Amino acid sequence: MELQPFFFRREGSIVGLRVHPTDSSAADEVNQFALRPLKSEEFAVFTLDLCHNQIDRHFSRFPDEELETINRLVVGRPLMERHDLRGSLPRGTFFRSRLHRDDDRTSVRPDVYVLRTPDNASFILNIEGGVYRETSIGFAFQTPECSVCGRDLRTCDHVPGRTYGDVLCHSIMRNVLEVIEGSVVASGSQGTGFVAGGRSSSFPDALESARSLYHRPIELHTSRTWARE
């Protein structure tokens, strides 16, 4: 049976903002995405700490090589405002990204630009004022690898969060296929959840339903034949 990719949202944080980009390279890089040259006062730049290589509270983590993939795929992707009742138009565009290393913690830190349009004014103000300070990344990946046995977690019986010997079972998220969007959410909200079939659920729930799907008996429909005497 072919296992479907997981669609996942994961939380991060906004680590910095630049009201006016200090480095002149920012405007040049932003203008690769603009149809006319923008002046630096026409946009705000924010730096996001989008995802990292540590085990999170959902007992999952990215290996370093997948962070490199995300670092590459996020450029050009939209920044959204979650729970925006007016629809799903992007607020900004990720225009460059780098890997940030801090001891053994590595994270993906993309820069996003947001146009200073009247419509974006309150969005920018909410970030500048520290109300919107959490982010989430929406992405698809193929394989939740079990840290205990190395198999796809949907096909083994190890439970993320439980310790086996001295190994903490967690999901190593491998084969990232796509970065869908980054979002800014109000602080304190649940930025992370699996999205399956249009519904959002927690990692244990998503794993449980994926496992039961995998272990569901296969029904064979055979055409009936009549034995002749």
Q: Given the rule CB under 5 A, which of 126-134, 145-153, 182-190, 196-204 is the region that contacts Zn ion? A: 145-153
The first and second tokens of residue 156, run together, are 């083994």
CA–CA separation, 13 vs 28, rounded Å?
A: 25
Spatial neighbors of 219 by CB under 8 A, at least 6 apart, are: none
Query: Residue 164 half-sphere exposure, CB side, CA atoms within 13 Å?
Result: 10
3 vs 61, 113, 116, 192, CA distance in Å?
Answer: 20, 36, 43, 22
Q: Which stretch binds Zn ion (CB under 5 A): 18-26, 52-60, 102-110, 139-147?
A: 139-147
Q: Kindly tell me which of 149 and 186 has the beta carbon lying closer to Zn ion.
A: 149
Name which position in 148, 176, 185, 206 contacts Zn ion (CB under 5 A): 148
- State the nearest-atom distance from the C-beta of 151 to Zn ion, in Å: 5
Size of the site for Zn ion (CB under 5 A): 5
Segment near Zn ion (CB under 5 A); pick from 39-47, 153-161, 179-187, 207-215: 153-161
Which 3 state secondary structure label does DSSP give 141? strand
Residue pair 140/83 in contact by the 8 Å Cβ criterion: no
Count CB-CB contacts under 10 A for residue 117: 12
Which structure tokens are listed for 6? Answer: 């997981």
Q: How far is the CB of 194 from Zn ion (least distance, A)?
A: 19
Q: Is 149 in the site for Zn ion (CB under 5 A)?
A: yes
Q: Is residue 158 within the footprint of Zn ion (CB under 5 A)?
A: yes
Nearest residue (CB) to Zn ion, 120 versus 155:
155
Region from 105-113, 135-143, 149-157, 183-191 binding Zn ion, contact rule CB under 5 A? 149-157
Among 114, 124, 127, 146, binds Zn ion (CB under 5 A): 146
First to last CA, the chain: 38
Question: Does residue 79 interact with Zn ion by CB under 5 A?
Answer: no
Q: Is 156 in the site for Zn ion (CB under 5 A)?
A: yes
Cα-based distances in Å from 198 to 17, 69, 142, 229: 32, 25, 18, 53
Nearest to Zn ion of 78, 204 (CB atom): 204
Q: Which residues bind Zn ion (CB under 5 A)?
A: 146, 148-149, 156, 158
